[in-house]
Amino acid sequence: MFVDSRHAWHFRKGVEEAKKFLPSDDKLVIDLEACGFSQQEASKQRSSRVAQVDVVDKRDCANTGSRSRKKPNGEDLAMQEGRNNKQSAVCSEETLPSEMFDKVLLYNKNESLKVGVDAVVANLQDKASKISDGNQLKGSNVGKGRGKKQAKKKVVDLRTLLIHCAQAVAADDRWTANEVLKQIRQHSSPSGDGSQRLAHCFADGLEARLAGTGSQIYRSLIAKKTTASDILKAYQLYLAACPFKRISHFFSNQTILNVSEKASRIHIIDFGIYFGFQWPCLIQRLSYRAGGPPNLRITGIDVAQPGFRPTERIEETGQRLQDYARSFNVPFEFNAITSKWEAITVKDLKIRKDEVLIVNCLYRFRNLVDETVIVDSPRNMVLNTIRQASPDVFIHGIVNGSYSAPFFVTRFREALFHYSALFDMLETTVPREDEQRRLIERDLFGREALNVISCESSERVERPETYKQWQARNLRAGFEQLPLDPDIMKRARDKVKTSYHKDFVIDESSRWLLQGWKGRIIYAISTWRPNKVL
């Protein structure tokens, strides 16, 4: 087996080397005409583009010594890093048209044209109305069955069965747990309605916990390959089905534009940059600024990938952003830090006094372990580093969850409520047969839930806190909270009201912008700065 794997590795390596001599057709060409440029200007911009990786800082990682091909990938649909730094593998065997990539990431100035995400939103709204008109069955029903069979399925309370199973697992009552699991399996399905899909996902987690294989299964899910085409389409569907990511990026980017309105130099430190999908739109908007764009520097922070190319993804992110900046004539520099976040010091951030400094972290603090695992909490250590950097603004987005309790049944119940809202949201807004919906449920929600249910100690990397808990933590760390911008709030509310389902929640509380579904708050975002009096 070892010899076979070595031959396979050499074969793949040979294919990669051969590809270097093939013409590259996956340039990230910006559709400048859709952004208001003339055809002639667009041609000039495209002809001047040069692929260039500009990764300045690589902490604790080996230099790969070669330039990698770009692979369009989805941020939140990419596998989450745990403490063991496991990553998803995205197949690059197919090359996507650059226009698809640009339509998902760039701002469309021509409001009369429905392109990209807006087109998917309109399509989903049309399908959602048909679902509603057709009285798509909820609860534990599935399909279009009628009569007694449907009536019998109505009485199955999958939530109650799941909680009973979790209680049996916690008590190590294996016989009861297995019997209840059999019932859940009979009435759940990965292709059924929202409740059935949720039950199938949570049953996988309970089964893995019973078998003691949660960590191994979680690692295998992270290593599973997904085609770049599926990732990009699923990411686009996620943006169209719910406003969470879209509003978060708007809030963050508009805050940055407001803070740096007259700045000639801007430095953004992004904790958890993933594939940098937030930043092409900001680069585009900076290029429109009166008097010309500022000098932009982005420091992307993430953990190193395991294997032979630990900096591959962050290098591709830098390459992609460099190409966008070049297309929009924005002076740009990209620095990369691949390290455990708690090991990063202010010196590593290379702060310059003549720059407006912004720290951005959207929904990644939940993957840092807390005081229940390590006395010196990495969360507090990173917050302390950010405070010492003294940014003009710290933009902090969090997953609002209560399923970090050390007690299993309590954690399971809270996770069940949280993910019930997410599965119900997709059930209401996306047709059941949509393949990208299944990918989101399986490779994003399902993987996260499995980690919460079947993993413990440092292996459990999904540890969200509520926005009120984070508010107290940030205040203890020496930050003061800034008021929400009324104009940003109004525009965010208008966007959700006009483009998304009526059951999406957007509100404000204690200077946090809150987003949720049917009354359950799922995400929260706010702005902070270091307290002068320490």
C-beta atoms surrounding 142 within 10 Å:
19
| DSSP E strands, 324-477 | 332-338, 356-362, 393-399
Alpha helices in 155-301 (DSSP H): 158-170, 174-187, 194-211, 214-223, 228-241, 244-259, 279-287
Q: Return the axis-axis angle of helices 214-223 and 194-211, rounded to nearest 10°.
A: 120
Residue 115 backbone phi and psi in degrees, to 5:
-130, 165
CB 218 within 8 A of CB 82: yes
Handedness of CA 358, 362, 365, 367 (dihedral sign): negative
C-beta atoms surrounding 174 within 10 Å:
11
What's the CA gap between 524 and 509, in Å, rounded?
A: 9
- For the entire predicted model, the pTM comes to 0.77
DSSP 526: E
Angstrom CA distances, 531 to 281, 386, 392, 398, 534, stand at 31, 12, 11, 21, 7
Local confidence pLDDT in tens for the 534 residues of the chain: 444 444 444 445 554 544 444 444 443 333 333 343 344 443 344 334 333 334 443 334 333 333 333 434 444 444 343 344 444 444 443 445 566 667 787 866 544 334 455 666 666 666 666 655 554 444 444 434 444 444 444 558 999 999 999 999 999 999 999 999 999 999 999 999 999 999 999 999 999 999 887 777 766 666 565 555 666 788 889 999 999 999 999 999 999 999 999 999 999 999 999 888 899 999 999 999 998 999 999 999 998 776 677 788 889 889 989 999 999 999 999 999 998 999 999 999 999 999 999 999 999 999 998 888 888 899 999 999 999 999 999 999 999 999 998 899 999 999 999 999 999 999 999 999 998 999 999 988 999 999 999 999 889 989 999 999 999 999 999 999 999 999 999 999 999 999 999 999 999 999 999 999 999 999 999 999 999 765
Q: What is the CA radius of gyration of the chain?
A: 23
What's the CA gap between 320 and 335, in Å, rounded?
A: 13
What's the CA gap between 484 and 186, in Å, rounded?
A: 48
What's the CA gap between 251 and 362, in Å, rounded?
A: 11
Classified as helix, coil or strand, 191 is: coil
The DSSP bridge pattern shows strands 393-399 and 520-530 to be antiparallel
What's the CA gap between 496 and 514, in Å, rounded?
A: 12
Q: What are 466's two structure tokens?
A: 């509520």
Residue keyed to tokens 């270091």: 530
What's the CA gap between 243 and 253, in Å, rounded?
A: 15
